[in-house]
A and B are shown apart, each in its own frame.
Chain A
Amino acid sequence: MSGGMVIIGAGECGGRAALTLRELGYDGPVTLIGDEPHLPYERPPLSKDAMVADAPAVKAIASEADLVEKTITHLRSVTVESVDSVAKRVKLAGGGELAYDKLLLATGAAPRKLPMPGLGKRCVYLRTFSDVLAIRQHLKPQSSIAVIGGGFIGLELAASARRLGVDVIVIEAQPRILMRGVPAEIAAVVHAAHEAHGAKILCGAGIAAINDDGRKVRLTLADGRMIDADLAVIGIGAVPRTDLAEAAGLRIDNGIAVDAMLRTSDPAIFAAGDCCSFPLAVYGGRRVRLEAWRSALEQGTLAAKNMLGHEEPVSAVPWFWSDQYELTMQIAGLADEGSGTVRRDLGENAFILLHLAGDGRLVAASGVGPDNAVARDIRLSEMLIAKGARPDPAALASPDVKLKKLLSG
């Protein structure tokens, strides 16, 4: 009997891939295996709405009824232990095996662990809905949290905690927050918003020791300062989950290495989403790994197509957003491809930095502003980036010149 399509990882990417296989008319078996107990769900709300909602719930990508109707077999709370790429079988923890014709690795990423002694029950990470439920038990007015790491997830959590009236301190080792994520000009706006909402941020602060007695956690900073909190949430980045792929002998290069068709070094195995690195055509085939929701969605869809033989290459421009208080940041493209920036002011405290390469190509756009003030122009910038456009910097800087005009021009 045919093993059909097996997908490991029931997150954004795996979930979308399963649905897409059916949308494209594939009628063999589709098995979606995930180690979480939930339906496939969207992760971005975890640090946002789910963290503040009265009754937190997963935002499912597909309902139970959808999965049944589409005859997608979803194995919950099941971990895949190994992949035998010769026999084309996957082995499940606790026994059991499944055969596959094509396999998709959509295993995502896991929080980077803080390599320090002294961590206990009051030191946690945020990646899953179960993590949200655990963290929320400690988010009460008058309670206090220390967020270790001033990256997107830690800062979003800090903003949500402030909304709940929790005392918040963010500890960042780098000289400023969002060092890897956005230019300094934008980080400064976000930093100010946190302070205006009563969150404290310490930058350039190393942690010398952690003492967690299970009821409170004490952080001792390199300069001797001590910080006590009811909970420490560690947000210092994520690492791709490549263990299965590695053990199966697949090529790894900052994630599971795939080609433009999302194929691994084994032609029957695909990888997509946060776990993979892939060549990005807009930047001359530069290999990147993204941790971004839209990319996981698009790659899940694309992987499904290519598992069915469509041969469609990844072409999207990376895109990311983050919500903190009333502010939204949106970033299209890779800013480190640029050598200079032009600022485009959009009123109401909203602006976009447009990153240009030495040859004049627009390579990225980073914006911040209230609500969706930067959304349209970021989207249009993304289209300019995709076209390889070399727009006139003066036009980009002038809010009176519509980017839509530059696109058609």
Chain B
Amino acid sequence: MSEWIEACGADDIDEEDVIRFDHAGHTFAIYRSPDDEYFATDGLCTHEQVHLSGGLVMDDIIECPKHNGRFNYKTGEAKGAPVCVNLKTYPVKIEGGKVLIQVG
């Protein structure tokens, strides 16, 4: 069962930035890329369960605030030590100025 849920307004995120979104006991990270596209991944780093929303977005990379583990937020790919487990990604669409993500 998958459903689209509203995560935030498209303008709530700066370009090349990330915010945290919690839904039904799960935490997500929502990204706006430098070329103005939106993406969503699980919100917690796969190294030590830290919120990625405190991290730095650079191009298509989110860097974890805790120990600088890096992921490609578009694909979820872990980019090397200390992170070795990929992030789960979620489909995103923009409708009426809102960011929707598909969960489940």
Q: What residues of chain A have their CB less than 8 Å away from a CB belonging to chain B?
A: 16, 19, 42, 61, 293-294, 297, 301, 319, 321, 371-373, 375-376, 379-380, 404
**Contact (Cβ within 8 A) B82 A42:** yes
**Contact (Cβ within 8 A) B63 A372:** no
Q: Contacts A321-B67, A376-B65: A371 and B54 contacting too (C-beta < 8 A)?
A: yes
**Contact (Cβ within 8 A) A376 B54:** yes
Q: How far is the CA of A376 from the CA of B55 in the complex (A)?
A: 6
**Contact (Cβ within 8 A) A372 B82:** no
Residues on A with C-beta less than 8 A from B63 are 379
- Across the A-B interface, the 8 shortest Cβ-Cβ residue pairs: A375-B65, A372-B65, A372-B54, A376-B56, A379-B56, A375-B54, A297-B81, A16-B81
Residues on B with C-beta less than 8 A from A19 are 81
List residues of B (34-84) whose CB comes within 8 Å of A's CBs: 50-51, 54-56, 63, 65-68, 81-82
Cβ of B32 to closest chain A Cβ, rounded Å: 14
Residues on B with C-beta less than 8 A from A293 are 67
Residues on A with C-beta less than 8 A from B67 are 293-294, 321
**Contact (Cβ within 8 A) A372 B56:** no
List residues of B (2-20) whose CB comes within 8 Å of A's CBs: 16
Residues on B with C-beta less than 8 A from A16 are 81
Cβ of B43 to closest chain A Cβ, rounded Å: 13
Known: A375-B65, A376-B55, A376-B56. 20 other contacts (CB 8 A): A16-B81, A19-B81, A293-B67, A294-B67, A301-B81, A372-B50, A372-B51, A372-B54, A372-B55, A372-B65, A372-B66, A375-B54, A375-B55, A375-B56, A375-B66, A376-B54, A376-B65, A379-B63, A379-B68, A380-B56
Q: What residues of chain B have their CB less than 8 Å away from a CB belonging to chain A?
A: 16, 50-51, 54-56, 63, 65-68, 81-82
Residues on A with C-beta less than 8 A from B55 are 372, 375-376
Residues on A with C-beta less than 8 A from B50 are 372
Q: How far is the CA of A16 from the CA of B82 in the complex (A)?
A: 10
Residues on A with C-beta less than 8 A from B81 are 16, 19, 61, 297, 301
| Secondary structure dominating the interface of B | loop
Residues on B with C-beta less than 8 A from A61 are 81
Cβ of B1 to closest chain A Cβ, rounded Å: 34
Cβ of B82 to closest chain A Cβ, rounded Å: 7
Closest to A375 in B: B65
Closest to B54 in A: A372
Residues on A with C-beta less than 8 A from B54 are 371-373, 375-376
Q: How far is the CA of A319 from the CA of B16 in the complex (A)?
A: 24
Q: How far is the CA of A14 from the CA of B67 in the complex (A)?
A: 19
Q: How far is the CA of A379 from the CA of B70 in the complex (A)?
A: 13
Q: How far is the CA of A42 from the CA of B54 in the complex (A)?
A: 23
Determine which of B16, B51, B56, B68 lies in contact with A294 in the assembled complex, contact meaning CB atoms within 8 Å.
B68
Q: How far is the CA of A192 from the CA of B80 in the complex (A)?
A: 37
Q: How far is the CA of A297 from the CA of B54 in the complex (A)?
A: 22
Q: How far is the CA of A301 from the CA of B81 in the complex (A)?
A: 9
Cβ of A169 to closest chain B Cβ, rounded Å: 30
Q: What are 8 sample pairs from A and B whose C-beta atoms fall under 8 A apart?
A: A61-B81, A297-B81, A319-B68, A321-B66, A372-B65, A375-B55, A376-B56, A379-B56
Q: How far is the CA of A319 from the CA of B66 in the complex (A)?
A: 12
Closest to B14 in A: A402
Closest to A301 in B: B81
Q: How far is the CA of A119 from the CA of B81 in the complex (A)?
A: 40
Residues on B with C-beta less than 8 A from A294 are 67-68
Closest to A15 in B: B81
